[in-house]
Structure 1
Amino acid sequence: MPPTHPTRRTVVLSSAAAAAALLTPAAAARAAAGRRGKAAEDLQPYASYWFPDSLPSGTPGEGIVWRSLLEWTPEGDADLAFNRSTVPLAERFTPVPVNTSARADRARISSLVSFHPTAGNPAQGAATADHYALTHWAYIDELVFWGGSSAEGIVLAPNAPVVDAAHRNGVPVLGNVFLPPAAYGGQLQWTRDLVQRDAQGRFPVAEKMVQVAAAYGFDGWFVNAETGGGDAELGAQMLAFLRELKHLGEPHGLRITWYDAMTKNGSVDWQDELNAANQDFFLASDTMFVNFNWNAEKLAASAKLAQDLDRSRYELWAGVDVESNGWNTSVDWDAVLPSKPEGADPVVSYGFYRPEWTRNHLPEDRTPEQFHAADDRFWTGESLDPARPGGSWRAPASAVADRSTVSSLPFACSFNTGHGLGWYEDGKVRSDAPWNQLALQDRLPGRRWVVRTEGARPKVTLDFADAWRGGSSLLVDGTLDAPTTLELHTARLPLSSSTVVRLAQRAVSGDGPVTVEVGVALREPERPGDPLTYTFLPAGKIAPGGWSEAEVRLGSLGGNGTVHGLAVRLTASGPVRWRLGALAVRDADEQVAAVSYLRVDRASGDGQFRLSWKPAPGDVRHYELYRVLADGSRRFLTGTCAQAAYVKGLTAEQGEKAATFELRAVGELFTSSEPIAATHPW
């Protein structure tokens, strides 16, 4: 185990008792109830995890289920409908970088994230806003669903909300295979199980891994073999396994990333570079994550060897361990991305290990606002403006060009981060319960936040005290002593004479009205760091009060062209608190067809329900499930991109004989279909 990872015990545990300690009290209570013979009443679906074949000896800890991947089948997976991602991987483009230090289409970023302990990870979000709601997808090229432990399972499939959110932003997600060091309970037998051949010489576990990825809708596997004690024969078997895994996955578009641990002789010996000991594993994979103790000389040699092998040097991720210290981590940035001479190409790409530090280092009573403030600083830098990066922490925005998927109409953003303290619909509260569900996250602006003004710079945040739709809105807070332009989405949207931009906005407070204009950029700048040129169109004078909507027609900009950027310009005198709740661009109205049936598949006596439905025809962004109360009002329960949902904690209202559910399909402009209802007797 490399000395740079003393804190990996937060995920990799050497005993079932330690793993059980990570479970929430509710999960422990459910597990205890299961041993009392009530396991059938726990209808909660969880993210899936397995051992390759053989299971540990003894008994699993509370809330843990030991499963063999070789025994898995789609038909036998009762939670598959809840764990399947349905959002396709979107195509991305790279706009001209907003600063001169970010490189386009060269260095990239891999991010290894543990969203939750291995066991007890809800398949479709949970009733808490305290969640690592990653939103800076614009800088990420690959997300690894990190986790696994010898006490729970070592092959992890990403849960659907993570994959749905990533795919909407064009980021592939990899499942994780973690063969732990012996010090953390790893058994060499599990490595042998992984690479075993059947009587026909095939690799049955590789076949299952491809089948799982295709059924669940994610994009490949991160393979991390750190169990020592192997020999050259096992090393050769691992190499053959990787080659077969890649071959079997190619028809499904799957990718493989290898972690720099096992070498060709079968031993675990972290090289901290690409060299003769691990190059065959790199050649059998799409990318390789280089262990953390690299230096400038090793990375330069790795880059040269990759090119000599006819591979891109940017297919090497130089690992940066930020689990313990986040932006205070000491990193030899110039070894990866030289600052001199200006414009020099990166040496390799780099990978962040555990950037969820931005949440975990905060106190336990942290708020969503505190998390996003820390996460913005991590990804954007101390300036909180990617157009003027700076500081000792060389944030991704200063090094890697952002990317976008905003390239087709209709497009809408309600600045929903995928978690919140309540749920809003058209500015009205439909639930006051906290929640997280990353599948409901919008495509947020990738550059957060570029503010151009000759006066004082206001504070720009994602705020959770109010929203137009979802759980959050964009808040501009400060004294405006000059016109202030806030850049939003980079785009490549088709422009026609019928294109319309619609805003939902609200001035919360201020000395007077805020004059709001929509900015539309019709071309990209010529050079990195040059600003976009906007044409501004009036969107109203907003006095403090409730939410209002404004519609801005773009016909005056010409009948043909491309929208490369969207912005708002605010003009006021004095202090202002102004919210943007939604931004939508369309050239035609949206019609969303209703679901044809909704049914309750299972229910328990303590208010748990599993529901499913047939997909609505046409384009559907997601589905929203409500409960209809006795007075006819609707209460938001959950949303999902899948065709199944789980809810819990429901109780009968006074005199209510049955629970009534309503489901709506929701389009890209957040237009809702007609509802379909289902009831279930209490």
Structure 2
Amino acid sequence: MNGSTGSPTIQPMTTWDELLQWQTPTDLTSQASVAEIPLAQRPALTGMSSLAGFDNGDWQYDPFFTEWSQGGTGQSNTRTAANVYNFSFWQYLDISYYFGHQLLTIPPTVWTNAAHANGVLSLGTLNLNGVSKDGIDQTTVANQLIQIAGYYQFDGYAINDETYSGADWDQKLMSQLSNNGQKNLIVIWYDSPLSGNGGYANELNQQAVPFLEAAGYFQTNYCWGNASYESGINPQSSFDVLKTNFPSDYESWKNRVFSTLDPYCFNTGNCAGCGNCTQPYSGYFFENYKLIQNATEGYLTGIGVYAPAFTMYWCLQSNDQELPDVMTFQNNDQAFWAGTTDYINYQTSCSEQGTTVTPQADQCMAYYIEPRTVILTTPFVTDFNTGEGTFFNIYGATAAENPWNNLSIQSLLPTWRYSQSGSATFDIVFSYAFAYNGGSSLLLSLDSMAAGTSGIINLYQTGITLTETIQVTLIVQDTGTSFLPTLQLAIYLDESTNPVLIDGTAQDVGSGWIGFTYNIPTEYSGSTLTALGLQVSNNTNSSQPIALALGQLKILDTTQSGGTPYLGALTPATVLSWEDFYNNGSAYRVYGVLSGENYLLGIVRNYAYSTAGNILNTSQSNFTSYVVQEVNKFGESTPLT
């Protein structure tokens, strides 16, 4: 619990006493910090596995982000809750861990929820640097770590021990964690002097194999390939060790070893201890990743990136410095992960003026990692909500006006950012000026769309088997112009790369938004919907400006029903609970009732809500009652009375 506000929070553990004395909580305030979104399923992996280690430096417990298990609110002279490190490229990850430089870092509730919604495993970290293990029983520690992960519902631990003693202790601990009978934990060992024969090996060497076997996963240090002081340290050498030690099973083991790079390099010569820097566009970052690829094997190991938050925190040295604005950050994150936009204000060193970089085709993570999808069944609903904003809308109407963030309600965002084809090319960004549900929408714009032109924007990779009753709905708003282009659904079936275009019917859905309904022809029943997009056409005889906000997209089977969503009135309490009516596939809006008016206070993916942790309409208080409104997996809710 946050000592100053009483709101639910997860703080790191800094001593063995804290860890060993931890007991499974039984109070509702702690329950509000449990990540209740289950891990979404994905198709079987066909390419290299991927790992991200999130180390946000001094910002890992920013009060606008992780101190609030129900989301964040507020602002200062240099910070706002509407502009946090709001990671959204989950489709390129398999595993993530959250590193906080303390003995034990539990991943934030909102972080695990967002990861799980996208099918990504979320890990905490056990950091043994500078910590004595004398007299500490690893079995007791293992049991505590298993219970903690089980309670907060994250998926395992990255183990960091950069000391020079205690190898047996570490190996026994990791073996107990990864082979326990209670919860199937993922355990990653970070390359260190303990497993590197007295130094960082920057590869999987023979001395590290027992650590890999005990943990199940291994992450290299960052000075390999072109960044190494020595030749021959690269993914090939790690692969050779795997093939020697696991001759009949090396294909599966290579996806458990992550050749990892660190993009941070604040000043010339500060290269994370490496011989050469691995900055993304002025160092050897992407050049090194090419060494993972192999003509014979396809790839040699998994791929890892440590501290990808450089796209927001590059060259910042203290947590009171002004951050880049939300649009600059999201632009640069898109450049790094998708490579489909220029990187703005890229600095080779912090003392130099920033420049604009146009990434080459192989200078983005998407070049090396295939995207993963969790859109395998109906219903699928997205509001293009990034999980932050300066206001909050419900069905296009404003329900709150203040800066906020909450990654627990981040929508599944487009797989491709952004793939386009056709005679018209649009500017595509998340807009924080228009929203249907939440604080953002996807804005397609073009200053002048020539007559008779069209363009297809590919949005989502899917794996849905079509039935005769599949229907797609789209809600849009024409912003700042009276011209509404022709909108056709573009679907891709089975192995075909040619889109099928489907016309829809339109109706006014209120608050300036227009709904389109597209019925998939029954002739495609039984086919697999592999991708979904939108064709935008100007069928007039003159050029027209385009400014179209996409507010919601649904893929539904009209024979399915979510029943009647829960709507309940609750008496005032420090923590509200509706456990008997809870469904982990739903979100829950919480309102405070005052003088007959309903004030939206927050949205959670839980059955417990702390009334000390409101992130919306925070100027209101002294509510006489509360209302909880379920939003089910179909995007449906029972209207407030």
TM-score, L = length of structure 2? 0.82
Instruction: Verify the 8 A CA contact 2:162 2:194 in the aligned structure 1.
Output: no
Which amino acid in 1 is paired with 2:469?
S
1:156 equivalent in alignment to 2:105: yes
- What residue is the counterpart of 1:171 in the other structure? 120
**Ranges in structure 1 where 5+ consecutive residues have no aligned partner:** 1-26, 31-38, 55-67, 95-103, 181-185, 526-530, 603-609, 677-682
- Counterpart CA distance in 1 for 2:507 and 2:566 is 37
- What residue is the counterpart of 1:521 in the other structure? 492
Which amino acid in 2 is paired with 1:204?
T
| 1:268 Cα deviation from its structure 2 partner | 5.8
- What residue is the counterpart of 2:12 in the other structure? 49
- Counterpart CA distance in 1 for 2:339 and 2:214 is 36
Which of 249, 264, 271 does residue 201 from structure 2 map onto? 271
| 1:329 Cα deviation from its structure 2 partner | 5.5
| 1:547 Cα deviation from its structure 2 partner | 0.9
Which of 311, 314, 332 does residue 358 from structure 1 map onto? 311
- Counterpart CA distance in 1 for 2:491 and 2:429 is 22
Matches within 5 A, 1:420-439: 420-439=389-408
**Ranges in structure 2 where 5+ consecutive residues have no aligned partner:** 74-80, 227-231, 267-278, 344-357
Q: What whole-Å deviation, never above 9, does each CA across 1:616-669 have from its counterpart, x for those lacking one?
A: 255642111122343x4433211111122233487887xx97443211111122
Secondary structure, counterpart of 2:42 in structure 1: coil
- What residue is the counterpart of 2:178 in the other structure? 246
Instruction: Verify the 8 A CA contact 1:521 1:535 in the aligned structure 2.
Output: no
Instruction: Verify the 8 A CA contact 2:97 2:123 in the aligned structure 1.
Output: yes
| 1:235 Cα deviation from its structure 2 partner | 1.6
- Do the aligned partners of residues 390 and 323 (structure 1) sit closer, same or farther apart at CA in structure 2, a change above 3 Å counting? closer
Q: Percent identity?
A: 21
- What residue is the counterpart of 1:535 in the other structure? 501
Which amino acid in 1 is paired with 2:212?
F
Segment of structure 1 superposing worse, 410-419 or 361-370: 361-370
1:640 equivalent in alignment to 2:604: yes
Instruction: Verify the 8 A CA contact 1:336 1:348 in the aligned structure 2.
Output: no
| 1:670 Cα deviation from its structure 2 partner | 1.7
1:298 equivalent in alignment to 2:264: no
Q: What whole-Å deviation, never above 9, does each CA across 1:509-558 have from its counterpart, x for those lacking one?
A: 34633111111222234xxxxx453333235599x992111212124544
Secondary structure, counterpart of 1:214 in structure 2: helix
Secondary structure, counterpart of 2:215 in structure 1: coil
Matches within 5 A, 1:593-608: 593-594=565-566, 598-602=570-574
- Counterpart CA distance in 2 for 1:85 and 1:651 is 24
- Do the aligned partners of residues 79 and 308 (structure 1) sit closer, same or farther apart at CA in structure 2, a change above 3 Å counting? farther
- Do the aligned partners of residues 394 and 651 (structure 1) sit closer, same or farther apart at CA in structure 2, a change above 3 Å counting? closer
Instruction: Verify the 8 A CA contact 2:384 2:440 in the aligned structure 1.
Output: yes
TM-score, L = length of structure 1? 0.78
1:113 equivalent in alignment to 2:54: yes
Matches within 5 A, 1:359-378: 359-361=312-314, 364=322, 366-378=324-336
1:548 equivalent in alignment to 2:514: yes
Instruction: Verify the 8 A CA contact 1:664 1:673 in the aligned structure 2.
Output: yes
- Do the aligned partners of residues 548 and 327 (structure 1) sit closer, same or farther apart at CA in structure 2, a change above 3 Å counting? same
- What residue is the counterpart of 2:428 in the other structure? 460
Q: What whole-Å deviation, never above 9, does each CA across 1:596-627 have from its counterpart, x for those lacking one?
A: 6745442xxxxxxx333225255642111122
Which amino acid in 1 is paired with 2:637?
S
Which amino acid in 2 is paired with 1:458?
F
- What residue is the counterpart of 1:587 in the other structure? 557
* Number of residue pairs aligned between Structure 1 and Structure 2: 575
Which amino acid in 1 is paired with 2:513?
W
Which amino acid in 2 is paired with 1:645?
Y
- Counterpart CA distance in 2 for 1:243 and 1:223 is 12
- What residue is the counterpart of 1:24 in the other structure? none
Secondary structure, counterpart of 1:50 in structure 2: coil
- What residue is the counterpart of 1:237 in the other structure? 169
Instruction: Verify the 8 A CA contact 1:440 1:639 in the aligned structure 2.
Output: yes
| 1:339 Cα deviation from its structure 2 partner | 9.3
Secondary structure, counterpart of 1:468 in structure 2: coil
Q: What whole-Å deviation, never above 9, does each CA across 1:97-122 have from its counterpart, x for those lacking one?
A: xxxxxxx7232221111354358622
- Counterpart CA distance in 1 for 2:110 and 2:526 is 37
- Counterpart CA distance in 2 for 1:73 and 1:532 is 57
Which amino acid in 2 is paired with 1:587?
D
- Do the aligned partners of residues 77 and 305 (structure 1) sit closer, same or farther apart at CA in structure 2, a change above 3 Å counting? farther
1:307 equivalent in alignment to 2:257: no
Secondary structure, counterpart of 1:288 in structure 2: strand
- What residue is the counterpart of 2:213 in the other structure? 283
Secondary structure, counterpart of 1:277 in structure 2: helix
- What residue is the counterpart of 1:570 in the other structure? 536
| 1:139 Cα deviation from its structure 2 partner | 0.5
| 1:490 Cα deviation from its structure 2 partner | 1.0
| 1:208 Cα deviation from its structure 2 partner | 0.4
Instruction: Verify the 8 A CA contact 1:592 1:666 in the aligned structure 2.
Output: no
Secondary structure, counterpart of 1:284 in structure 2: helix
- Counterpart CA distance in 2 for 1:384 and 1:283 is 42
Instruction: Verify the 8 A CA contact 1:595 1:613 in the aligned structure 2.
Output: no
